Amino acid sequence: MIHASRQGVCDKLAAAFPSLEVKPGRNDTVWRGESDLIVVWWSGYQVMARDISLARPTITIRYFPTLSKQPAEEAPRDPSALEQAADALIATFDRSTQEVGYFAPNTSWRLDSIPEPNMAPEVWMVEARLVAYTLSEAA
């Protein structure tokens, strides 16, 4: 379920952003490639305490605009490229992706959060977290 879901998220992102690089795996530093980069990885699996039969796996997506899109000025840093990346991720994971089975059987994935973007010059990215509602493997 996790692998199929992560692959489904990668496929959805690749279709939504055909000019970007979409890769499975994690990246923690600024992207120096020619086109923007999106990385996708499984970032945890939480069994819900109130009902062990339910679980909430999480997939993390990081969108790295290319280094060339970073503002030259250090303060205040113009967040426009990161805001546009966040808007694009929100639009990609609309209600249709919440349907049970969209990415994997018996699973409904939802955009859970987009934390504050990391505007540090050595990172420069926006992150989104998808959370699934599914039956636990432990049940």
pLDDT in tens, 18-32: 999 999 999 998 888
Query: Is the CATH number 3.30.2000.10 carried by domain 2-135?
Result: yes
- 14-63 pLDDT tens trace: 999 999 999 999 999 888 888 999 999 999 887 777 776 777 889 999 99
pLDDT for position 32: 86
> DSSP states of 97-127 as a string?
GGSTTSSSTTEEEEEEE-PPPB--TTT-BEE
Domains of the chain, by residue range, sit at 2-135
